[in-house]
Structure 1
Amino acid sequence: MASNEMDTASPKTCQPKEELSRDPLPSAEPATEAEVTKKPLSFYFSFLALNLMVFIISLDATALNIAIPKITNDLHGTTLEAFWTNLSFILALVITQPIYTNVSDVLGRKIPLNIAFLLFFVGSIVFAVANTMPVLLGGRILQGLGGGGLDVLAEVILADLTTLKERPLYLGLFALPMAGGGICGPVIGAALSEFVHWRWIGWINLPISAVGFGLNFFFLRLRPIDQSFRSKLRRLDWMGMLLFAVGSTTFSLPLSWAGSMYPWSSWRTIVPLIFGAIIIVSFGIYEARPVEPIFPYRLFQNITAVTTIIGATIHGIILYSIMLYAPLFFQAVMLQAPFKSAISVLPASVSIIVFSIFSAIAVEVLRRYRWVVISSWVFSAVGIGIGVGTHFTVLTIPMQASLARVDDMGLAAGIIVCFRLFGALIGLAICASVFNNIFEQQIQPLRPLPPSIAVLEDAREAIGFIPALRLVALEPVRLEQITEVYRSSLKAVFLTLSGFGVVGFLTSLFTKELTLESEELGRQQLERPSTQAVSPLASNRVK
């Protein structure tokens, strides 16, 4: 198949360069310029619903981190159960997001979207009423199974509703709830766990989810896929979904516990890691066969798409690791309470929002993205916050600009989200290993430790002990020694993330500048009144 890179000087919209005979689904009818410019009221309500979806997932994913020690103490949980409280949520997101993307591309967006809302809603209730750690973990898994759909489908549907030409503007607006949830999450989680009750971390999801579901139900009316439900089911990549779920689970689990629960050299880490890698490779080979594969080969056959996917993965590595370790730095080194540590990271969090919006506006005005992407990686390597914010909005643009088929816009948006979250899992595993190794080296000369902090002789317990560190009665000299061990360990984590920023910069140099002037909407765009009058497709809405 020929490369589908396009000349940046060409004013033409993206057009398919080959006939894909295996895809009998109809392509989207191009919207007229007036229809694109003048949005119906349903568009704005639908866009608000998508923003609420992104906000609630971003909020939920970050609010729990600071509250975990309090939850574990109240429910008499173990260190292992505390470890899995947030990890189970992330793993569920990683595994389900590509599946949601594939299913929505075949069955339509509304069916998987409604399922995602239901799972997240029920999971939040289970979490809020849990009286034991196993029940709470079950709630987190249900939240992850639903949250994976809400997170990825928000960006997929946004790609359906907007053209490539206008997308930078809406991506900039989209960054507000995405980054806002990340900023508010730690503060809200700390405030609720310290001053109210951690159960409200689950309860606050319900009204926001209900409003988002209602807006989607009444206003998100999408163009239909003109096939019977049975024929759609036959097009689903059932074997691919099975291979991906098993392979990604088997591969992700050892990544999540390597260096935290078991050493990298342990058979418990190596065996499932190798087995999972074999299944994932088999999945990649198999994906050449299905009619509607989870990861179509056609999306990965140009250098811009490949470098963007690498960038999205590195973005996930940096973003989620910083969100975890930055508050811990203030708690362990500055000996701040959880709530105050959440306040201390606000300046960096605000910079993420500011630059995510600023970068989208820059692309909107300049109609160029390459140097915005490259410069953002420089900032990621040097200062983290600015670059991380830019990647939220800008990385989606070159990926979608490189596509030969406008119908793939939603699928490409979903794939970017999937790789970002998979990068998060890799980053958390690597950072945990770096932290534990440096902590082990630095704590060695201080042994034997006093009984009150003897638990720190096991580096794997160091993160869990941070909230108690400021409350331990120690001699000032000994306390200073311990905080210096934490400072060195966290510094190593931040330098590791800076190194990933350098890798992102080097790969971004291969990104090509492609045209952004396409004015075609995605295949599952909002129904238009004129379309309903003349198109036979309009008789059936995607449910």
Structure 2
Amino acid sequence: MTAKPPQQQSHQGVMEIQRTPDDSTSSSTDLEKAPVAGDGGVLSSELSTPPNAPKPPPTLRDKLNKPIRFHLAFLSLLIMVFIVSIDATALAVAIPKVAEELNGTTLEAFWANISFMLTVTVVQPIYTSTSDVLGRKPPLYAAFFLFGLGSIIFAVAPSLPIVILGRSVQGLGGGGIDVLNEVIVADITTLRERAFYIGLLSIPMALGTILGPILGALFSDYVTWRWIGWINLPLIGVCLPLTIWCLKLRPMPDTFKEQLARIDWTGMGLFTVGAVLFTLPLSWAGSMYPWVSYNTLLPLFIGVAVLAVFVWYEAKPVEPMFPYRIFANRTAASTLVGSFIHGMVLYTLLSYLPLFFQSVFLEAPLQSAISILPFCAVLMSFTGIAAMGVEWTRKYLWEIWAGWVFLAVGVGLFGLWGTENDTGMRVGFQVVAAIGLGTLFTVPPIPMQASAERSEDQGLAVGILVAFRLFGALIGLAIAATAFSSQFAVSIGSLGELPEAAKILENPNEALGFIPYLREIAHEIDPVQMDEIQLAYAKALRVVFYILAAFGAVGFLASLLTKELDIESEEDGKQGFDG
């Protein structure tokens, strides 16, 4: 075999020979041109790095060595996370006060609580898809406008129907803010450094999630619940200017007219109709209407049929909402399944853990928010710790497996809680479950993005993952409500005739809504009967915990299909930073 001619390049004024792997001998010409140690030259072996040698992980200086405009833009993303985290968690504890002040019905209170999550779930994939065609900033500006408008409507609402309207408009905007900040992080950072920035996003998420219920209780008890809406406006006032002036992204290549022509309008319409018809009955099944009623089954079946047509249609558009290529490998598929289950468990626990403390230990809403602080604090701490773990080890699979084990074991341990107040068990079990849930919040987006065939698809991939998490939340809440009602009916039925103050509990569909009033009737009921009612709640909530733990085990099995992919890519996303 004939050796290839050597390629020459200059290095510090000295010519260095570069040989191909096929070269096993050096010609005399090579030897004449190779630098010699001691003659002021440097040996070739000292200058070159083996072509397949792994690159060292980026240092902190590498990651922070960016223009000031980048850091201000990233600050705006941190504030976005904080805004959505507070708003999503603040209202639930204040709903009884809102309903009482506005003379609302139980049905109106239900919709006030659930409307935000429903609209967020439906619009997130739409924001992700349109931002992939129009660019990230136009949909983001629309999201800010809708979120601010919804906050004002909520804050000045004279009745619960207007509260529901305000929360729905907030959800239309909040869904965009929530998903687009993660999409933009995927655009402006490389996969190699992304774990670091995902870890930073966990800080405002932690603050918002922990402060949200506390602020909601404080506002409703000592000021007015309307401040839950007003508090968003100064935060938007800081965040939006930073976004406008500092978040400079590469421009999209097409004209606005060409972009509009590429949007998957038909797919978007099918998805919206199907998602609304599918999510609405899931939200009211077991609470407003029985699962077997036509009010639940008819829209649910129609929604499933429309979503099936949507899935079939998505093979046709040039720019589909859910491109098939995103789902084309087992790592992406298993990660999406895991994200779906993670959403089921996380959001259901965030709803049901405070209810456990309020119903079984008769705590006030504010006290129940404090009681789950260990859960929230550890969960949000591990969103950052887990991301930093990937940053340090450059591997993610071991954390995903460990996260599912902690989740399944910790949530299963909740089933050991009884009516006795054992602080060690209360706190310790929360910590175990929270370690798993926090880890699985920030680590799976990394393999999801690494699995994308093209770097410009990474933002779309993480947007789809966030949407799957929210869809899982809705289904988890529906399953939990049904399981709770079924077990509560059995437990409360075994008690026989209930006292007049608790007669409403003979209808198990009213049991969850009545929890905030249990403390008020406790002094009107015989202590033995009250203990039995509290035990009935404990038994029903244990069933919910066991079901969630079982889903955690399924999530672990799905994670075994995930591959350990390379995360050293230095390409940024579709709209990289242009500052």
- Whether these two folds match at TM > 0.5 is yes
Asked if 1:39 is matched to 2:90, the reply is no
| CA shift for structure 1 position 179 | 2.8
Q: Which amino acid aligns with 1:207?
A: P
2:400–2:443 contact (8 Å) kept in structure 1: yes
Matched residue of 1:288: which SS? coil
Secondary structure, counterpart of 1:515 in structure 2: coil
Identity of aligned residues (%): 54
Which residue in the other structure is 2:106 paired with?
79
CA contact (8 A) 1:222 1:525 kept: yes
What amino acid sits opposite 1:188 in the alignment?
A: L
Matched, 1:389 2:438: yes
* Paired residues of 2:487 and 2:543 also in contact (CA < 8 A): yes
Residue in 2 that maps onto 1:519: 570
Partner of 2:428: none
* Greater alpha carbon shift after TM alignment, 469-478 vs 141-150: 469-478
The counterpart of 1:325, out of the listed 335, 352, 371, is: 352
1:53-96 Cα distance to aligned partner (Å, 9 max, x none): 11111111111111111101111111111111121111111111
Q: Residue 266 of structure 1 is aligned with which of 290, 293, 296?
A: 293
Q: Which residue of 1 aligns with 2:515?
A: 466
Runs of 4+ in 1 over 3 A off after TM superposition: 9-13, 34-37
TM score, norm. by length of structure 1: 0.90
1:495, distance to aligned residue in structure 2 (A): 1.1
Residue matched to 1:277: 304
Residue 139 of structure 2 is aligned to residue 90 of structure 1: no
Rounded Cα–Cα distance in structure 1 between residues aligned with 2:212 and 2:172: 20
The residue number in structure 2 matching 1:409 is: 458
1:315 aligns with 2:342: yes
Matched residue, 1:441: 490
1:226 aligns with 2:277: no
Check the 8 A contact 1:187/1:343 in 2, yes or no.
yes
Distance 2:467 2:553 in 1: 22
**Which of 514, 534, 539 is 1:488 aligned to?**
539
SS of 1:165's partner is helix
Equivalences for 1:149-160 in 2 at 5 Å?
149-160=176-187
TM-score, with structure 2 as normaliser: 0.85
CA distance in 2, matches of 1:345, 1:396: 26
Contact 1:179–1:349 (Cα < 8 Å) also in 2: yes
Q: Is the contact between residue 36 and residue 519 of structure 1 (CA under 8 Å) also seen in structure 2?
A: no
Instruction: Give distance in 2, aligned partners of 1:10 and 1:390.
Output: 31
Indicate the residue corresponding to 2:87 in structure 1: 60
Confirm or deny that 1:502 pairs with 2:568. no
Measure, in 1, the Cα distance between the counterparts of 2:207 and 2:313.
Answer: 39
**Which structure is richer in relative contact order (CA contacts within 8 A, separation 6 or more)?**
1
Alignment partners' CA distance in 2, 1:125 and 1:374: 43
Residues 202 and 381, structure 2, Cα contact 8 Å, conserved in 1: no
Q: What corresponds to 1:195 in structure 2?
A: 222
Q: Is 1:286 matched up with 2:296?
A: no
Q: What does residue 22 of structure 2 align with?
A: none
- Tell me if structure 2 keeps the 8 A contact 1:10–1:515: no
1:477 aligns with 2:504: no
> Residue type matched to 1:360 in 2?
A
The answer as to whether partners of 2:120 and 2:171 remain within 8 angstroms in 1 is yes
Q: How large is the Cα RMSD of the aligned pairs?
A: 1.6
**Structure-1 separation of matches of 2:572 and 2:481:** 43
- Aligned residue for 1:524, secondary structure, equals coil
Q: CA-to-partner distance for each residue in 1:179-216, whole Å, 9 max, x for gaps?
A: 32121111111111111111111111111112111110
How far off its partner does 1:44 sit? 1.1
Contact 2:383-2:441 within 8 A present in 1 as well: yes
1:161 correspondence with 2:188: yes
Aligned to 1:344: 371
Aligned 1:124-273 pairs, distance under 5 A: 124-273=151-300
In structure 2, C-alpha distance between the alignment counterparts of 1:209 and 1:37, rounded to whole Å: 26
CA-CA distance at 1:51 after TM superposition: 1.2
Quote the Cα distance in structure 1 between the aligned partners of 2:496 and 2:169.
Answer: 43
Q: Which runs of 5+ in 2 are unaligned?
A: 1-50, 56-60, 411-432
Q: Deviations over 1:266-289 (max 9, x none)?
A: 111111111100110110010011
Say if 1:447 and 1:457, in contact at 8 Å, map to a contact too. Answer: no
In 2, the alpha carbon distance for the partners of 1:380 and 1:221 equals 39
Verify the 8 A CA contact 2:206 2:381 in the aligned structure 1: no
CA contact (8 A) 1:332 1:469 kept: yes
In structure 1, the partner of 2:18 is: none
**Equivalent-residue separation in structure 2 for 1:448 and 1:246 (angstroms):** 45
Aligned position for 2:28? none
